Structure 1
């Protein structure tokens, strides 16, 4: 009898939904060992009295870069069924003292190594300086969503040259193969989150393929996730000694394929000149190294000319002695008066722009040379096409008004708070003139810089000023504090916004909360467009 009673009780417990007493924004199940969220309170739902959505938009992130560059450049994963101890692992070659982190050492000029242990101590990573450790763990992203983010653009990315050069890899170097895998993993993350919240469609992480879907997701208080692409050889469109290695049929097949995957925005070129367009140069040592990489991959160095207008590309840096470049090969010297890439938008590039318009996709002009961006903007203006994006401060700022005139969207890089506030102030009059909100591009796992430590945040705080209560973020034994740790991972976005509020005031945070609405207006404009 006792056994029967116990069995009935266990059956009743099994049939009683855990969600019945669980708030909609809290999971009903989570891996046994996982990160904390450290945000208390209900995320906002619905729209304002004018039917507008609210929320921050991260217009440029890279959730699945651990699958890119051969699969061993970024260590750790965005999620695992076994939780943080399994997902947040260092690469095996970094053990025992981090001295095998060759790429990290070269980029950061730190050759002292690091503690490779992740869970539960996380002594040295992730940090605001890291370029080889996971910064987009799903629970950290959940914290960003709980703190007010409502749109995330995750760019599927890779670079075949870096993959070939880097000695550690377990995945192919072909960029489009990597794009497909990263898209697959992003859908798997959606399924993973759904399982935590009770089943298909119930999680907070929602991949969307239209602005209408995004609005519906945000009205529910969830995160609308948009797939984009940022690669150097989109659809295999590499150039070799100025000869294109793709054609119009490759572009059409590629656009159809990625659209079917759910991709709705893309860069035509990134870091290296390709068969579609010339790039906006990188500066400093990194620029010199990338110029050498371009030579290795394409057989051509960057070439410059005098700019025809006020817009300019970045000055080119000088590459340090490089064992990959034969001693007999000498990099060109550049005239400081010639600041523009001679390569603009090629005929194939124009075909790709027009193909993206026909498919109502959004066109990223960051990383395009001034010449390429100018032609792209002219094509968009001639067609009255609004779907133009600048997602992370990689276009000449003097194009900003032209983007707004078209109905496009502009986001600033997630700089240190004072730098972000300063850049926001420089374009405030334009935002007011065109009635647009402001986005940011965090570029996490994109081998970029992140906000450095600075004081100004008192924990706990309200995320916008009437929002949920945000405390210091804890994973395992490690507690992150933006005052001392900077922008170490994506979960600290609410903390960074609070830093921005302290310097720029509540009005700037309101403009950030208007970012999601402005992004969706650009997207819906692209969807409604007809030639």
Structure 2
């Protein structure tokens, strides 16, 4: 009989990296709270990680008889020994994927059955015992054993098994990066060459309690689970309306929903509620030249609490980022598992420039953790009163550092206890302003800018305009928006508008605290006044550890930032817009610092991705092409049944950013690609200066 289940979060032990994160910061009181990793291979003759994605037969070690299919069950001594693809689900755990996608799975109390649905019941943790193996089911905790000739589960009597190399295995469904060759390695003492994505969101599937975003960068059970259609995105469901609102600026209740394998509905440059960073797409970006990526742990309490399918208890920003840090360690472990063991994968979390240089010299991707939330350190506002104090700021910064976070936004979308925000303009600003009212109890209070002042974007008055959006917003958020609609929306004076909120005393303490710890200050999203005050503090210290990572700064602040040795990483928008930002940054770059430029993709961050270049009939990207370093051939990427072309699809998913950079040659020539290839080195030098200043 087939076994049925829905996918749930794994409940067995955390991976090696996740264990470290948990012990450091998430609150595990001792290691006994976590189940242990598989027995160390140092004391056995079998490497439990080497089986990853290989083809093997399974045999009873005592009799030598192999396992084969027996109707809807499995038995030893069957007429045909079954070859299994050992599909890694985590370090030391596997699906035994047989012909036709049939897998060995726990079924009922002690039974074992065949299933074609990957999930915890088909997931087996392997332990080595000298020259033999035992298999423990991830869901039931019981061991794979024999009763006569039939496979069963047993509490105590673990079977003794062997895996022998075989042939003829079915391939487990997955996505190929579409590349040939290997990324180049180097000398750790030499400058690195490669691209910098200074702003992305691999962990945003946790957004709004995990109920808003459709898809994940990985699932233990593969692409068919990670990138499947989502029930709450069906026509008329809240996810469909949210997709239309955030992606199209309309309030339709339907959109194309199909993910794997057709990908007719998503991913796409304008599909903002769907996954864009599946791990194979990240792999393609790395193979295409990406060497440093800053993953910002992200959430938004206001939108989370307003979203009607989320329990408001799941919506604390800091609790979410702690979980996301564990998620990123789990992703690293998963990629390691696909690659043959701990440390072997391309995706490496780093906490220092020294670690990053080592990783890149090995030809891998250095991933830095950042944080972008509106109530960082739990420093929100309530009716004008700060919800944190100086001790909480100090303790919170220590926690972030221990968690592995090295890049911090003091302010995001809302005013908080640290300072003011740069306003969102237009209709999006109206919605964000409503969120500000929800979390702080106050609407934004813009003032007309003084002559010569740099505005914080012009804001729509909620009075008289909010009412036009109440009914559509209620379709998404239900009666949770009533506290906003029942408030007294203000009318604003004519623009241009400036946010009168600069840095608070707590905000100044935060900037000083980040510099004291050698951490990187993210200046985007600060109000113009707060940004200028932050720069004054850093200028007084001569501190280089700062960045504008995705275009939410201002020209005057950028000029001051680069003089300190900070890094410019414009938003990855249209090619003409990005090329213009590169030219401005290069023109004012000081000679004493290496010039290299990054880009901020904001993928998964409710930010549009680059669309196709409008004039791409002139000098289009021609496939295949060779990466800037000559090490890799980039073919058209195929995901399931969909073939992508940056000339037609734009940056539909994260793996197409190398193609976007290749397209830049049409506007910026080799010069812009060379400067992008210095982005990773410029970032590491900035980080090294920050750490040196903190010593």
Contact 1:289–1:318, Cα closer than 8 Å, also in 2: no
**What is the CA-CA distance between 1:186 and the residue it aligns to?**
0.1
Contact 2:563 2:589 in 1 (8 A): no
What is the TM-score normalised by the length of structure 2?
0.70
The answer to whether 1:294 aligns with 2:436 is yes
Cα shift at 1:527: 0.6
Q: Is the 8 A contact 1:420 1:500 kept in 2?
A: no
CA 1:29–1:471: 2 relative to 1, 3 Å: farther
CA shift in 2, pair 1:309/1:253, >3 Å: farther
Shift of 1:287: 0.8
**Which deviations, in whole Å up to 9, do the C-alpha atoms of 1:455-493 show, x marking residues without a partner?**
321111112162411111111111121111111111111
Give the SS at the match of 1:226. Answer: strand
Comparing 360-369 with 401-410, which one deviates more in the overlay? 401-410
2:180 counterpart residue number:
40
Greater helix share, 1 or 2? Answer: 1
- 2:459 is equivalent to residue 316 of structure 1: yes
Q: Partner of 1:227: helix, strand, or coil?
A: strand
Please give the alpha-carbon distance, in whole angstroms, between the structure 2 residues aligned to 1:120 and 1:330. Answer: 46
Displacement of 1:77: 0.9
- The residue that corresponds to 1:92 in the other structure is 231
Alignment check: 8 A CA contact 1:70 1:168 kept? no
Give ranges in structure 1 of 5+ residues lacking alignment. Answer: 1-11, 22-27
Q: Partner residue of 1:162?
A: 303
Alignment match of 1:520 (pick from 654, 679, 684): 684
Deviation at 1:112, TM superposition (A): 5.7
Distance 1:467 1:421, change over 3 A: farther
Out of 109, 115, 137, the position equivalent to 2:278 is 137
Pick the aligned partner of 2:356 from 192, 205, 214: 214
Whether contact under 8 Å (2:569, 2:599) holds in the other structure is: yes
Higher percent of residues as strand = 2
Partner Cα separation in structure 2 for residue 205 and residue 317 of structure 1: 43
SS at match of 1:440: coil
| Post-superposition offset of 1:16 | 12
Tell me: CA distance 1:312–1:356, structure 2 relative to 1, closer, same or farther (3 Å): same
Q: CA RMSD in A?
A: 2.4
Structure 2 residues not aligned, in runs of 5+: 1-44, 55-85, 90-171, 471-480
Paired residues for 1:357-372 under 5 Å: 357-372=515-530
Match runs of 1:403-482 below 5 Å: 403-431=561-589, 433=591, 434-454=593-613, 455=616, 456-464=620-628, 466-482=630-646
Q: Which residue of 1 aligns with 2:195?
A: 56
Name the counterpart of 1:202: 344
SS in structure 1 at match of 2:340: coil
Aligned to 2:545: 387
C-alpha deviations, 1:479-528, integer Å up to 9, x for none? 12111111111111111101112221011000000000000011111110
Q: Secondary structure at the match of 1:427?
A: helix
Please report how far the alpha carbon of residue 329 of structure 1 lies from its aligned counterpart in structure 2 after TM superposition.
2.0
Quickly say closer, same or farther: Cα 1:100–1:75, change in 2 above 3 A. Answer: closer
Larger radius of gyration: 2
Alignment-derived partner of residue 69 in structure 1: 208
| SS, match of residue 381 in structure 1 | helix
What is the CA–CA distance in structure 1 between the aligned matches of 2:554 and 2:173, rounded to whole Å? 45
1:250 aligned to which of 386, 392, 413: 392
Considering Cα pairs closer than 8 Å and 6+ residues apart, tell me whether 1 or 2 has the greater RCO: 1
**What is the CA-CA distance between 1:95 and the residue it aligns to?**
2.5
Q: 1:105, CA displacement in angstroms?
A: 1.4
Q: Distance in 2 between matches of 1:59 and 1:209?
A: 15
The change in CA–CA distance for 1:18 and 1:299 in structure 2 (over 3 A counts) is closer
Q: What is the number of equivalent residue pairs in this alignment?
A: 511
Alignment partner, residue 5 of structure 1: none
Separation of aligned partners in 1, 2:243 and 2:195: 30
Please list the CA deviations of residues 161-188 of structure 1 after superposition, one character each: whole Å capped at 9, or x if unmatched.
0001111236701111100111000000
The CA deviation string for residues 65-88 of structure 1, in whole angstroms up to 9 with x for no partner, is 111222111111111121111101
Counterparts of 2:681 and 2:399 in 1: how far apart (Å)?
A: 28
Correspondence for 1:7: none
What does residue 509 of structure 1 align with?
673
Moved more, 518-527 or 447-456: 447-456
Q: Give, in whole Å, the separation in 2 of the partners of 1:497 and 1:317.
A: 36
Query: C-alpha distance in 2, partners of 1:131/1:530?
Result: 38
Distance 1:106 1:18, change over 3 A: closer
User: What is the Cα deviation at residue 294 of structure 1?
Assistant: 0.8
Do structure 1's residue 125 and structure 2's residue 125 form an aligned pair?
Answer: no
Contact 1:437–1:511 (CA<8 Å) still a contact in 2? yes
Report the secondary structure of 1:439's partner residue. coil
- Aligned: 1:150 with 2:291: yes
Output the CA distance in 1 between the equivalents of 2:263 and 2:255: 10
1:172-191 equivalence runs, <5 A: 172-191=314-333
Distance change (3 Å), C-alpha of 1:15 and 1:260? closer
Q: Is the 8 A contact 1:387 1:523 kept in 2?
A: yes
